[in-house]
């Protein structure tokens, strides 16, 4: 009965029995969720806002955000298992224009690019929550994604010059779990600044996306996209070298999952991706970053 309920994404309360983690590399061994062999579990709350979409080339898509209304976000959050996390440290040093616009008003265009995890993050509707927190600013978002896409893809074939620079974003977010190496990210940073000298950039480590069990720190530290892995240290150093802000999304994500006292798969739609509840964990992390002191607002 519990499996049937969870399979329909309607029984979070039935899954509140916490499965104590054992040393394992595959979360499926104690998962209460039965994922389909193909595809993902259906969402209880498909995005309720339509945004423009385009396909610049095969396997790539560009769409607007937020895709969820504030009312839908609150409905989703009301139905999800609650958890807590330590707010990531503020990193406003290299985001002065973003900070000024948020607090003083003006237009702020946020563009995110990367993989399906970036798409999930942006589909959460956090850009709408940001606009709610900073009503003086006119905030809009654009998402440019490719399944499994990292900067090793975006740096080639003039994609940044063709698909990002003409949109003139004020802030670019680069994240996800598919970055192959930091040098490809550095290449993209240089291309962005060649076309947009004043653009501000936020680099983020990954969340979701692997069978590494977030209940076991040693496993999470082995995940190639993790903020607690060597990749996280290299990404943070790159951010400092290239004057970009840095956000470790891995640590607060894992803290939320562990504090919720349920199996992590309660927040997944398949073995890799967040469901609408998992998306809201990502949203809350983004909001915690952008409302941390010195701005002093609540997520």
E strand or H helix that includes residue 63: strand 60-65
Long-range contacts of 155-158 (CB under 8 A, 24+ apart): 155/184, 155/187, 155/188, 155/191
Closest CA to 262 of 3, 84, 86, 81: 81
pLDDT of residue 26: 79
Strand partners, 143: 63, 112
Q: To which residue do tokens 């060649």 refer?
A: 194
137-146 and 60-65: which strand pairing?
antiparallel
Q: To which residue do tokens 């998402």 refer?
A: 143
pLDDT of residue 12: 38
pLDDT of residue 25: 54
pLDDT of residue 7: 39
- pTM comes to 0.90
Domain chopping of the chain, boundaries: 60-290
Phi/psi zone of residue 71: left (φ > 0), alpha (ψ -120 to 50 degrees), beta? alpha
Record: fold of 60-290: Rossmann fold (3.40.50)
SS (H, E, C) 105-125: CEEEEEEEEECHHHHHHHHCC
Q: Could you state, in chain order, the average pLDDT of each consecutive group of 10 residues for the chain (299 residues)?
A: 39 36 65 95 96 96 97 98 94 96 97 98 98 97 97 98 98 97 98 98 94 90 93 97 98 97 97 97 97 62
In contact, 168 and 200? CB cutoff 8 Å: no
pLDDT of residue 297: 53
pLDDT of residue 40: 96
What does residue 262 show for φ and ψ, rounded to 5 degrees? -130, 165
């Amino acid at each position: 009965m519990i499996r049937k309920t969870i399979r329909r994404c309607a029984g979070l309360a039935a899954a509140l029995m916490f499965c104590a983690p054992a040393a394992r590399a595959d979360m499926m061994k104690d998962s209460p969720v039965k994922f389909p062999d193909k595809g993902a579990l259906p969402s209880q709350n498909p995005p309720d806002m339509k945004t423009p979409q385009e396909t610049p080339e095969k396997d790539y898509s560009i769409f607007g955000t937020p895709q969820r209304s504030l009312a839908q976000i609150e409905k989703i959050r009301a139905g999800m298992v609650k958890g807590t996390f330590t707010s990531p440290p503020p990193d406003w040093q290299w985001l002065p224009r973003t900070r000024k616009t948020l607090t003083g008003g003006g237009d702020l265009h946020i563009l995110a690019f990367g993989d399906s995890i970036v798409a999930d993050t942006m589909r959460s509707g956090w850009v709408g929550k940001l606009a709610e927190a900073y009503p003086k600013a006119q905030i809009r978002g654009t998402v440019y994604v490719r399944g499994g896409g990292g900067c090793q893809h975006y740096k080639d074939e003039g994609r940044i010059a063709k698909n990002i620079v003409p949109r003139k974003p004020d802030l670019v977010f680069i994240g996800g779990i598919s970055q192959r190496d930091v040098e490809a990210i550095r290449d993209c940073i240089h291309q962005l600044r060649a076309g947009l000298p004043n653009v501000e950039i936020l680099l983020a480590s990954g969340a979701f996306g692997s069978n590494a069990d977030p209940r076991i720190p040693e496993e999470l530290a082995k995940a190639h996209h993790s903020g607690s892995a060597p990749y996280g240290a290299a990404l943070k150093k790159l951010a400092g070298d290239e004057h970009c802000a840095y956000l470790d999304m891995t640590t607060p994500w894992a803290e939320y999952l562990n504090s919720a006292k349920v199996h992590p798969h309660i927040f997944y739609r398949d073995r890799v991706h967040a469901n609408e509840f998992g998306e809201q964990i990502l949203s809350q992390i983004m909001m915690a970053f952008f409302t941390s002191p010195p701005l002093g607002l609540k997520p």
